[in-house]
Structure 1
Amino acid sequence: MEKLTFDRHTSAQFNAELEGARKHLMEMGGLVEQQIDVAFRSLMSVDTDLAAKAIKMDKDVNKMELMIDKETTHILAKRNPAASDLRFIISVTKTVNDLERMGDEAAKIAKQAIELSDSGSGPQGFVELRHIGEKVRQMVHMSLDAFARLDADAALSVMHQDEAVDLEYGTAIRTLVTKMMEDPRTISRALNVMWALRSLERIGDHARNVAESVIYLVKGKDVRHKKLDKITEQLKKLD
């Protein structure tokens, strides 16, 4: 999305403020994507330097959250936006909150990498971790791309992926429990992997939230807490 395609205003400053909020949201999204990638690589390679970098990046994510919150609050207070502009500001506010929480979960993943390093072990042998990690990172990228392009269909695809990740997460946890029961020596390492998986699953949930915000922004429909088949049916009627 190169420029906002919502209501145009005689005030060039208002247009600039809307575009500024969009630009900063995309910058924050890119930073969070990078943080998740660094954190995940730190976990898979048990690299404490990468883990420390991911944890430090969380401070930058938090700063961006505060900056964008200030921008959107200013727009709400001074411009009294309506219709699609108001939907845009609401969607930005919600998405910024989800991005900040993704950053928190990325920092948690990095901390699990440090704990694994301290124990002298790694996540090797837990193939579910890599698979889910790759899927979740793809979801985050797709949800942000859907926001940038105002693509409700792409947002719906992210929601479908979230359901698949949730199923894989449940299977992975059961597998880890079985491994711990069969070999108590794996308990400590398996618990670290469990916590990392939990953070990945939560990042996926936040990516879904971003997708829901995109649908609200584009279609004007609040699809939170609705079953996926109902959402799909509802969107088809709007096409």
Structure 2
Amino acid sequence: MVSITFDKHTSGQFNAELEEARNHLMEMGGIVEQQIEIAFKSLVNVDSELASEAIQMDKDVNKMELKIDKETTQILAKRNPAATDLRFIIAVSKTVNDLERIGDEAVKIAQQAIELSNDGAGPQGYVELRHLGEKVREMVQSSLDSFARLDADSAFEVMQQDKAVDLEYNTAVRTLVTKMMEDPRTITRALNVLWALRALERIGDHAQNISENVIYLVKGKDVRHKKLEKVEETVNR
């Protein structure tokens, strides 16, 4: 694990403000993790009540986004942070945005569960959906854990997982398209599952973004749009 040292401040209040922003980020991450779990469960069980619960949770996610945005803006305005402190504020702001977007994707999954429920259909038998859901949930959890521990190595491992998620997503899409061609009666259900798969793939992308934020915070290097080999070099320096 790679650790960093934050700047020392004469103001204890400044330290408290940074810690509060970090704690609220972790709190928001916990809500989003729970939202993903409930949304995915609503999909595989075709449970409209659970789906509605996941959708309602988005209000809490949005409230946390506004709260943390206000906190980081006030820190920038009052404290004029530099060096590691500034990277921390930037990383928090970007991660908050990704968490909010993950919440939006969880809502999309829940909406597909409601559609399937209304049609009296379910995604049973789509093994790829279950596998992808588990992988993506693990990515989100690991990316937040790497942020909490300021661990660039584990953040890089999450980035590596995204390639496997993309491959599994493409495989699942091909399987569903084949099923629709073989049996047109499955088209409506398959399209609902396709939209849910797309939302899961996007959640994986946002988990990768969070991991990139961690590496930026720890290493001071922007690794967005970099090949994995280059990111690995940055992490190992």
TM-score range, shorter chain: over 0.9
- Per-residue deviation, residues 54-84 of structure 1 (Å, max 9, x unmatched): 0000010000000000000000011000000
1:27 corresponding residue in structure 2: 27
1:210 corresponding residue in structure 2: 210
1:11 corresponding residue in structure 2: 11
4+ aligned runs moved over 6 Å, structure 1: none
Question: Which amino acid letter does the alignment assign opposite residue 120 of structure 1?
Answer: G
Q: Residue 84 of structure 2 contacts residue 217 of structure 2 at CA under 8 Å; is this kept in 1?
A: yes
- Aligned-CA RMSD value: 0.8
| Structure 2 unaligned residues grouped into runs of 5+ | none
SS of 1:225's equivalent in the other structure is coil
| Separation in 2, partners of 1:230, 1:169 | 25
1:136 corresponding residue in structure 2: 136
**Structural mapping, 1:15-164, within 5 Å:** 15-164=15-164
1:221 corresponding residue in structure 2: 221
Question: Which amino acid letter does the alignment assign opposite residue 136 of structure 2?
Answer: V
2:182 corresponding residue in structure 1: 182
Superposition TM-score, scaled by structure 2 size: 0.97
- Per-residue deviation, residues 193-214 of structure 1 (Å, max 9, x unmatched): 0000000000000000000000
Question: Which amino acid letter does the alignment assign opposite residue 210 of structure 1?
Answer: I
Q: Residue 219 of structure 2 contacts residue 234 of structure 2 at CA under 8 Å; is this kept in 1?
A: no
Q: Residue 98 of structure 2 contacts residue 209 of structure 2 at CA under 8 Å; is this kept in 1?
A: yes
Q: Residue 156 of structure 2 contacts residue 235 of structure 2 at CA under 8 Å; is this kept in 1?
A: no
| Separation in 1, partners of 2:215, 2:94 | 13
Question: Which amino acid letter does the alignment assign opposite residue 21 of structure 1?
Answer: A
Instruction: State the 1:231 CA deviation.
Output: 1.1
| Separation in 2, partners of 1:86, 1:195 | 38
Instruction: State the 1:125 CA deviation.
Output: 1.2
| Separation in 1, partners of 2:21, 2:235 | 27
| Separation in 2, partners of 1:199, 1:73 | 30
| Separation in 2, partners of 1:27, 1:211 | 17
| Separation in 2, partners of 1:44, 1:124 | 7
- Per-residue deviation, residues 8-63 of structure 1 (Å, max 9, x unmatched): 21101100000000000000000000000000000010111100000000010000
Instruction: State the 1:234 CA deviation.
Output: 2.9
| Structure 1 unaligned residues grouped into runs of 5+ | none
Instruction: State the 1:230 CA deviation.
Output: 1.6
